Amino acid sequence: MEGVLIAAGFSWPNFLGPFHVVMLHYPIGFLTLAVVLELWAIRRPSDAARQVVGLVLGLTVWVSWLAVVLGFLQGLHGEFDPRVLLIHKLSGLAVATLATVTWLLHRRLYPNPDRLALRRTYHGLLLLSLGFLMVAGHQGGSLTHGSKFLTAGAPHSVSGLIGHAEAASSASVNVGTLVHDPYLEHIQPVLERKCYSCHGEEKQKGHLRLDVRESALATNEDGKTAIVPGDPMRSEAVRLILLPREDEDAMPPEGKEPLTPEETLAVVHWIQGGAPFGGVPTPAK
């Protein structure tokens, strides 16, 4: 049996790592519930309320450490932006550590709830744990969906305010290419909406980045190239886009919005025309 698993490329980190996405919801729920119950216990103190808070905090500790371990296994894939991944790891580790200390302080405090300094420390650490939980959650969302996932569906007035500085900077750098550039006008928006969440700056599934010209044109270990300028039919990206949705290799994967026929045709024409990136022509291979 072991030989079969090895031959099939099985590894425990690859198998267990994705369960991090399931487990991470439990620390969020339990820690938030602990804060709500603690507020209730402050308003209406009782031994029963304190016991329930202690139970929920204990559960928070166990699921937090389990989520941390699974998260570190998931991070071994090397498909994420290192900076964002590091912040996510450290903030997640901080949540588990702070939750543990908070739980231990709760156990010391509540045979003796009148110890003011200990109670203030406990409440402070509980709120600090919640703060780090929000940071970890946001960074985790950025790894999975991209850094703009929270504002992607925002009204234009809100998204305009958030992205004003970035847009101004981009305009100053690309003023020459913004006049009329098919890539910037038609192709990049499609890639941003449909591809960059898995193949962008913050996550590189299959070690592929489509927002960087050199990476998009590079040949992988299997001898396949995502984009072959001038030859859409040799481009792996086109092949995967055209696969039936029920095919497990189809891109974007199941659960994500596929390219429309018009978007697919635009990408094919762009590659056929040499796949220029932002006004930079790409020589055909």
Q: At what angle do helices 25-43 and 47-74 cross, to 10 degrees?
A: 160
| Calpha distance 165→188 (Å, rounded) | 19
Phi, then psi, of 80 in degrees rounded to 5 = -120, 160
pLDDT of residue 151: 63
3-class DSSP state for residue 145?
A: helix
Instruction: Name the nearest CA neighbour of 90 among 139, 144, 34, 26.
Output: 139
Q: Which whole number is the average pLDDT over 203-219?
A: 80
What is the rounded distance in angstroms from the CA atom of residue 48 to the CA atom of residue 209? 54
Quote the pTM value.
Answer: 0.64
> In Å, what is the CA distance from 281 to each residue of 110, 182, 213, 264?
69, 12, 11, 20
* pLDDT for position 123: 94
Range 197-219 average pLDDT: 79
Phi and psi at residue 165, in whole multiples of 5°? -65, -45
Exposure string for 21-38, b = 16+ CB within 10 A, e = fewer: eebbebbbebbebbbebb
Mean pLDDT computed over every residue of the chain: 81
Residue pLDDT, tens place only, 85-94 = 899 999 999 9
